[in-house]
Amino acid sequence: MLNRLQSLKKNENLIKFYFNNNYNNLTRYFCTGGSGGGSDIFSTKNSKDAINSTIRSKEDIEEEIKGFQNAPQIKPKIPVDPASLHLSYSIQIAIQKAYDEFMNGKPEEALKRYYWVLSHTPADYAVRIQRATVLESLSRLDDAIIDCNTVIKNSTEGEILSEAFVIKGICLVRKEKYNEAIVAFEKSLLLIHNPKIVDLKREAEMMLYPDTVIVPNHEDDYEFFNGLSSTLMGNAMVKKSPIHGRGIFATRDIEEEELLFEAPSLLSISTNLAKHKYEKHDDEHCNNCHLSLQPVELQNDREISKSKEFPKIEDTLSRMTNLPLGSISGVCCPNCNEAIFCSSECEAQGMARHRLICSGTPSNVHTNFLNKFYHDISKLDDEERTEYLLMLQVFSLQYTTGGNQDEPLRSMQMDQFLKRLVHTEPSKNHTTSYLSRKDMKIYQSIKGIFSNREITQEIYHRVKSIIRLNAVAFPTSRIKILSEKNPMDELGYSFDFQEIPSQQLASILMQGSFFNHSCEPNVFIATPVVNDKSIRFCTRRPIKKGEELFISYLDGEKLTTEKRRTTLKETYSFICNCQACTSRKTIDFLSILD
């Protein structure tokens, strides 16, 4: 008897459990149906069949009750009133009827039944959620929210709570309270992760910030691009662009030649290194920030250093250039004695990355692969070699300590950034290999250098394509200070500043990667660039608030419209429709489109 009772109780739970499960299905359909609600979204036969097969038949239950009534009279531990069993039976039937009615497009009738059920079992939160859903479908949003809040306040079951938050969120979206809706969806996601709810949250975010993010390819795009915009010194933001995907836009009126923002590159390499002595490290520049180790050269420094005012002069010039005067001794990598860093800060930052590709690393295997890599790229032309050297840097940066070494391109902020850079997808035709024979060799070397890391061919391809589409080249400078005796000046001298070309860098920019191209750009990289940790972007002409900001992806030389468009099409796979390109009528569009 006792056993029987327990089994019946268990089955009651089972019914609820299945109902919840099916209800989950409903929520899922609900989610795909958008925020509109309505009975059509429930018209899935499968979930209805499922519920019919899991709820026991009326006969089964009646038999069970009969069995209970006819059982020998042993006093049960928990007193059971057969009438209450009948009531609970009627409730179950009512719940199913309500469900059927709702499924069959009779939400009003379903609702009446749910009110009856909940008047008897107010603490049945699964049923309360169902009523909230029906209320939402009837646009009785406030009543639905009240039901959800009751559940949120009282239920302790994660699954039910999660659903309550979702329905509340959906109602809030319909009430155009997007902020509160986002919070509700977030709470739901904390309890149960469901991609459909992620979509709902994203939709609410899109409504709240209509033009912040264009192609929300990633769950955290909104946070990422907002974070990125916050580094643009209040002058610009990243948002959807009518040109290509995303772009950078002015957030206020900006004068001509005004500083837009200053930002570091993600990484750079010297193109001189690629051309001449790529196997050796450059001993004239910092391996991390590429600052010349003689950043400021003071003409007549011997004579000036004898001046009484010299400490003052040194201080003034150093402040004006923001650089130390004279030579920097630098710190060498203790393993290879070749890579050199300009400061302890650069040493800390740079060594983490350099260590992985240092030729003086004791491990033979590693060095062999590194040598093999350099050998593989030695026969390539400068441009291609530069790309592969950048690739080595991207991988070394990705795998520095702090990154998750088992999950390449998944962790760190670096990954956040990389995954959003423009890249081409690997060709779908090559199911066995994405890579050419040449790339296959280099791929094996790269894998060897970063041994035990899961660099797949796909990741290799992607990094290569990111570099191809995002790398930029720009010159860096040293500063030469010319001096002239000037008794009228309180320092005894007057000074003039000159830029001396230092080296050309190939870089992957951070913020700068989100500029679109124009052949008549309104933004340029200001000179001098002394290191790649502070690249300054300035306006070329007055900008109006809301205008899109462009740089030119092409070298400064004067090219014909045709040449520019062809180059852009070949290198970046887009056809330039900037002012300069479209104001000329002589272009043969079709020849480019081929």
Q: Which spans of this chain sit near Zn ion (rule: CB under 5 A)? A: 286, 288-289, 291, 333, 335-336, 339, 342, 346, 358, 360, 519, 576, 578, 581
- Side-chain-side CA neighbours of 219 within 13 Å: the count stands at 11
Minimum distance, C-beta of residue 533 to Zn ion, in the bound complex (Å): 7
280 vs 485, beta carbon nearer Zn ion: 280
With a CB cutoff of 8 Å and minimum separation 6, the contacts of 442 are 373, 376, 377, 388
Minimum distance, C-beta of residue 508 to Zn ion, in the bound complex (Å): 17
Any bridge partners for residue 479, and if so which?
296, 499
Minimum distance, C-beta of residue 553 to Zn ion, in the bound complex (Å): 10
In angstroms, the CA 461 to CA 505 distance is 23
Minimum distance, C-beta of residue 581 to Zn ion, in the bound complex (Å): 3
In angstroms, the CA 133 to CA 111 distance is 10
466 vs 519, beta carbon nearer Zn ion: 519
Q: What type of residue is 445?
A: S
Minimum distance, C-beta of residue 284 to Zn ion, in the bound complex (Å): 12
Closest CA to 393 of 517, 503, 281, 263: 281
Phi, psi angle pair for 166, to nearest 5°: -65, -50
Buried b (16+ CB within 10 A) or exposed e, 193-204: ebeebbbbbbbb
139 vs 561, beta carbon nearer Zn ion: 561
Enter the tokens of residue 214.
Answer: 């264009």
Minimum distance, C-beta of residue 231 to Zn ion, in the bound complex (Å): 20
Minimum distance, C-beta of residue 530 to Zn ion, in the bound complex (Å): 10
288 vs 393, beta carbon nearer Zn ion: 288
3-state secondary structure of 380: coil
Minimum distance, C-beta of residue 518 to Zn ion, in the bound complex (Å): 6
**286, burial (CB in 10 Å: exposed 0-12, middle 13-18, buried 19+):** buried
Cβ–Cβ under 8 Å, residues 216 and 222:
yes
3-state secondary structure of 379: coil
92 vs 288, beta carbon nearer Zn ion: 288
Looking up tokens 């660099």 gives 455
439 vs 532, beta carbon nearer Zn ion: 532
Minimum distance, C-beta of residue 423 to Zn ion, in the bound complex (Å): 22
174 vs 536, beta carbon nearer Zn ion: 536
20 vs 396, beta carbon nearer Zn ion: 396
In angstroms, the CA 380 to CA 388 distance is 10
CA distance to 272, 281, 471, 472, per residue, from 383 (Å): 11, 19, 11, 11
**105, burial (CB in 10 Å: exposed 0-12, middle 13-18, buried 19+):** middle
Minimum distance, C-beta of residue 591 to Zn ion, in the bound complex (Å): 16
Enter the tokens of residue 275.
Answer: 């051309």
Closest CA to 466 of 532, 417, 402: 417
Cβ–Cβ under 8 Å, residues 397 and 517:
no
172 vs 291, beta carbon nearer Zn ion: 291
358 vs 543, beta carbon nearer Zn ion: 358
The helix or strand, by DSSP H or E, that contains position 543, with its residue range, turns out to be none
Cβ–Cβ under 8 Å, residues 202 and 228:
no
Minimum distance, C-beta of residue 144 to Zn ion, in the bound complex (Å): 53
DSSP 428: S
Minimum distance, C-beta of residue 417 to Zn ion, in the bound complex (Å): 21
Minimum distance, C-beta of residue 258 to Zn ion, in the bound complex (Å): 24
Minimum distance, C-beta of residue 517 to Zn ion, in the bound complex (Å): 7
389 vs 578, beta carbon nearer Zn ion: 578
23 vs 550, beta carbon nearer Zn ion: 550
Minimum distance, C-beta of residue 579 to Zn ion, in the bound complex (Å): 8
- C-beta contacts of 6-11 below 8 A and 24+ residues apart: 8/64, 8/68, 8/85, 11/56, 11/64
Return the sign of the alpha-carbon dihedral for residues 455, 457, 462, 465: positive
120 vs 563, beta carbon nearer Zn ion: 563
Sheet with 548-551, strands from edge to edge, namely 236-240, 246-250, 548-551, 516-517
3 vs 364, beta carbon nearer Zn ion: 364
3-state secondary structure of 218: coil
Q: Is the peptide bond before 528 cis (omega within 30 degrees of 0)?
A: yes
Closest CA to 325 of 304, 299, 294, 303: 294
335 vs 566, beta carbon nearer Zn ion: 335
